[in-house]
Structure 1
Amino acid sequence: MIEYDGTSYELAYGRKRIEVAEASLGKSILAVFSDRPTIKDLVITMACGMRREGESAWMNPKQASKVAEECVEELGYATCYQQTIEAIDRDCGFLFR
């Protein structure tokens, strides 16, 4: 869970959300996260999995990108990277088996 600007967000992924992220990134999630992703790649990946806590629908992509960018700036790259990796591992463990 990510707390930002008085709102709680969660990162949630499934196979389809990973495919959306990969289409936006132009490369596989595994290629991006085999090393540290660029800030842009991290923001894209976060935005693809971002939703408000307790909601089942993902956020509008433009709004999610804006929140993800601000989170990286305010909370730090390392915190956002860790949250993203943990969410992908939790939700898409099949990528790592």
Structure 2
Amino acid sequence: MFKINEKNYELKYGIKRIEMIEAVTEMPVMSSLQRNKGMLSIQHLKVYFAYGLQDTDGEYIDINKGMEQAEKLMEAEGYIKLNMAIVAALQRDCAFLFQTD
């Protein structure tokens, strides 16, 4: 959960959001995660965050505002914390990406 301007947000992903992220980054999600052992590039981190940021009413934030917030949170909270939140949300919401059976 993230608090931005006194409003609560969470990261929420689904197939449509994943498709949007892959279109923007021009890379499959799993390739991006495996490339650097789960550590997204800063550019990809901002995209994943912006496209996944949803308010408590279920509305996704404007992408440009999401990118700005990603940068601010990265500077305030640290890259690792933000990256871990994204990966955890992907594992929670898109478990099908991580199935091996």
User: TM-score normalized by structure 1?
Assistant: 0.91
Report Cα offsets for 1:13-67 as digits up to 9, x if no partner. Answer: 0000001111111101111111221111111111110022x12111111111111
Aligned length, in residue pairs = 96
Question: Higher Cα Rg: structure 1 or 2?
Answer: 2
- Secondary structure, counterpart of 2:8 in structure 1: strand
Is the counterpart of residue 22 in structure 1 residue 22 in structure 2? yes
Unmatched tracts of structure 2, length 5 or more: none
Instruction: Give distance in 1, aligned partners of 2:54 and 2:88.
Output: 16
Structural RMSD (CA): 1.2
Could you say which residue in structure 1 is the equivalent of 2:72?
Answer: 70
Give 1:23-38 correspondences, 5 Å limit: 23-34=23-34, 35=36, 36-38=39-41
Measure, in 2, the Cα distance between the counterparts of 1:9 and 1:76: 18
Cα 1:76/1:5, change in 2 over 3 Å:
farther
TM-score, structure 2 as length reference: 0.88
Which ranges of structure 1 fall in alignment gaps of 5 or more residues? none
Find runs of 4+ consecutive structure 1 residues off by over 6 angstroms. none
The percent of aligned pairs where both chains have the same amino acid is 29
